[in-house]
Amino acid sequence: METIREIFFLPPMAVARLGPGKTPLESYEWEQDVDAHGNNQTVIRSSVTLKESEDGSVSAYLPDPRKIRFRDEDAGALRPVAPFFELWARLHDADSGEEYETPVTPDLLDRHGLSLKHVRYHVTVGNQKAARRTGDAACGFRVRTEIAGDDFTRKPLLAFSPHTSKQQPLVYEHNPIPLGTVRAIRPVPGACETCGDETVDLGILRLRFTPPAGEVYGPPDAAYGPATLAVPGYLNDPPKSEYGRIHEIVPPQNRILNPDTPWSQWIMMTGLYDDPEPHDSYDGARVGNDQSWGVVDDTSDGTIEAYLSVGGERLTARARIFTGPPDFAPDRRPFYSLADDLDDRDLSLIEVTEQTYEACKDEVIDIFRRAFETNSLINLDDIRAQGLKDNASLQAQTKIPPTPGLPSTDARSMTEEDAVPPDKIPDLIRPQPVSVFSNSVANDRLPYTVAVKFVHEQLVDEVALLDFLRRRPDYVKRLLRPPFGILSQLEADPNPDQEPNPEFRDPRIIRDQMHDARMPPYMRDSNYYPLSLSRRQYHLVVSFIDYLQAHPPAPTDAGGQKDA
């Protein structure tokens, strides 16, 4: 006899992406291009996709592998990413004592004397960005909806601002902001479809979240405003903002928000608010007196819950859903993802041994390949200028001297005069002979951006990377920015001017707040501090380099054969 012990969603977390298109984006996955000219770079291939029918059921198909359609063919609108959540159960077999996992289907429910009527879903999503800045809960907006397990109609998620009698709601209940739709998918008992090498069970209980179009909303006076332009400068003449073209802030049909809330009066860095970083990432920042225009968007995050009544007990499954902007470079992978962040939290540090070498090698190679893909998307010259400007401001306030052994934090950064010059970069940005491509590399508007891509591209190759790590182990370690330490590593009351620990950073130490050429150069984390690998990634790379040094390759004879 089997009993249902637990229910859960797969995936337990997903990111939906905004898009006004009528058709959701088809599924695709990352692959390494192993063709002769592919250079092991990431490409995307179409994969099995589920298509909704009018009655709420789905069918499976394999899209054309030669063409992934990111826009509707008629209107050209970006297609949204609308993830599915499958409901699974963990069962216990009393006869064998074993536990196993299986998807929840009508057949499984029927075996336990249950039906879809015993299933219920709760979906709660909201946007708390303005509330987080102002400290006023009524400046947030959210929605909660309940769905019966046998209700397969699409449910709109219309959010508004709950409030007390003394609060002004940002979003009125009679004029809500759409945050997408949600739908319980009609299961087809016993139905399976085979697409290529994959068989899809259409009887699994699924829930689909479809995000909104990607609109902005504001009060009636959020009509037109000036765009700001960043004017380039140097260390002694830092970049500044100038007004550019006049643009429409919010389209007329979306000027529906309450103008009398704290969000329309909010100004950063006044001492009245906590000013979450980055504090200038809102409409109205760097314009006039930095007062907010009272604008919000239709992104959100929240929870999806399923409840199943079994033998007088209510089992609960819970998943997280996030809504973000479209992926403008779907074939480029970040070197530090949400998955890496979760691994950093849940997994122990890796020690490279003979038994773990191959798996660790693959992960290190993948980190360097992802680093190349990331830096192929960034304007290094721009973020370098911004980082040096921030360093100059911090140095002027604190008068902190240069730290011996660490890269420079002033205009010498990433040049031949750097205390720790990056490999090849200073040579690559020096003036070159006139060519048909450019008058000179020195006159290239983005010399660092071009050079860093060239350097990283060579490290995509496994043989070249391993050779580099063996030849220059100390250099690589010195050029890797350490992650922030965990609480047990940090001093209770450090001196902000003290020299930083070489193995980890402390956000209270001034030098650890400054940008330099260490990898990844000048990129920022969510708190506006210099970005690093995750703690687990950093220790993996260092441990892998140590293993390579302790286990040099076997020498070869004159014929190129390894000695026995």
pLDDT in tens, 493-523: 999 999 999 999 999 999 999 999 999 999 9
pLDDT score recorded for residue 527: 83
- In the predicted structure, residue 4 carries a pLDDT above the cut 60: yes
Average pLDDT, the chain: 89
Q: pLDDT exceeding 90 applies to what percent of the chain? A: 71
| Omega of the bond leading into 555 within 30 degrees of 0 (cis) | no
What tens digit of pLDDT does each residue of 228-257 get?
A: 755 444 434 444 455 668 889 999 999 999
- In the predicted structure, residue 447 carries a pLDDT above the cut 90: no
Q: Does residue 538 contact residue 487 with C-beta atoms inside 8 Å?
A: no
- In the predicted structure, residue 433 carries a pLDDT above the cut 90: no
CA 246 to chain centre: 31
SS3 348: coil
Structure tokens at 147: 């769905």
CA 345 to chain centre: 16
Q: Count of residues for the chain?
A: 564
What tens digit of pLDDT does each residue of 30-81 get?
A: 988 877 665 678 889 999 999 999 999 999 999 987 788 999 988 889 999 9
Least confidently predicted of 75-84, 314-323, 362-371, 439-448: 439-448
Distance between CA atoms of 544 and 361, rounded to whole angstroms? 7
Q: Does residue 522 contact residue 413 with C-beta atoms inside 8 Å?
A: no
**More confident of the two residues 179 and 312:** 179
Angle at the Cα of 230 from the Cα atoms of 226 and 236, rounded to 5 degrees: 140
- In the predicted structure, residue 178 carries a pLDDT above the cut 70: yes
What confidence tier does 435 reach under pLDDT thresholds 50, 70, 90? very low
Q: Does residue 206 contact residue 10 with C-beta atoms inside 8 Å?
A: no
Q: b or e along 290-314 (b: 16 or more beta carbons within 10 Å of the residue's beta carbon)? A: bebbbbbbbbbbbebbbbbebeeee
- In the predicted structure, residue 200 carries a pLDDT above the cut 60: yes
Distance (Å) of CA 174 to CA 177, 182, 257, 416, 536? 10, 21, 11, 63, 49
pLDDT score recorded for residue 273: 79
Q: Does residue 21 contact residue 80 with C-beta atoms inside 8 Å?
A: yes
Q: What type of residue is 169?
A: P
- In the predicted structure, residue 428 carries a pLDDT above the cut 80: no
The count of other CB atoms within 10 Å of the CB of residue 363 is: 17
What confidence tier does 21 reach under pLDDT thresholds 50, 70, 90? very high
What tens digit of pLDDT does each residue of 157-172 get?
A: 999 999 998 899 999 9
Q: What type of residue is 113?
A: G
**More confident of the two residues 36 and 102:** 102
- In the predicted structure, residue 191 carries a pLDDT above the cut 60: yes
Distance between CA atoms of 73 and 82, rounded to whole angstroms? 18
Q: Say which residues have a Cβ less than 8 Å from residue 474's Cβ, sequence separation at least 6.
A: none
Structure tokens at 238: 């830092």
SS3 123: strand
| Residue matched to tokens 């969603």 | 9
Q: At what angle do helices 535-550 and 462-471 cross, to 10 degrees?
A: 80
Q: Say which residues have a Cβ less than 8 Å from residue 412's Cβ, sequence separation at least 6.
A: 418, 419
Output DSSP code: residue 505: B
- In the predicted structure, residue 427 carries a pLDDT above the cut 80: no
- In the predicted structure, residue 562 carries a pLDDT above the cut 70: no
What confidence tier does 426 reach under pLDDT thresholds 50, 70, 90? confident
Distance between CA atoms of 419 and 515, rounded to whole angstroms? 14
Distance between CA atoms of 283 and 281, rounded to whole angstroms? 7
What tens digit of pLDDT does each residue of 387-424 get?
A: 999 999 999 999 999 999 899 999 999 988 888 888 77
- Of these ranges, 174-188, 220-234, 272-286, 400-414, the one predicted with the greatest mean pLDDT is 174-188
Q: How many helices (H) and strands (E) does the chain have?
A: 10, 21
Q: At what angle do helices 535-550 and 357-375 cross, to 10 degrees?
A: 120
Distance between CA atoms of 292 and 130, rounded to whole angstroms? 10
Distance (Å) of CA 212 to CA 151, 156, 282, 406? 21, 10, 20, 47
Per the DSSP assignment, residues forming a β-bridge with 546 are: none
Residues 262-289, mean pLDDT to the nearest whole number: 87
- In the predicted structure, residue 557 carries a pLDDT above the cut 90: no
Per the DSSP assignment, residues forming a β-bridge with 182 are: 155, 209
Distance between CA atoms of 466 and 367, rounded to whole angstroms? 13
Q: Does residue 103 contact residue 90 with C-beta atoms inside 8 Å?
A: no
Output DSSP code: residue 221: T
Per the DSSP assignment, residues forming a β-bridge with 489 are: none
SS3 206: strand
Least confidently predicted of 248-252, 356-360, 391-395, 432-436: 432-436
Distance (Å) of CA 305 to CA 10, 147, 555? 12, 10, 59
Distance between CA atoms of 547 and 360, rounded to whole angstroms? 11
| Residue matched to tokens 């016993």 | 190
Output DSSP code: residue 361: H
| Residue matched to tokens 């990352």 | 30
Distance between CA atoms of 546 and 308, rounded to whole angstroms? 51
- In the predicted structure, residue 556 carries a pLDDT above the cut 90: no
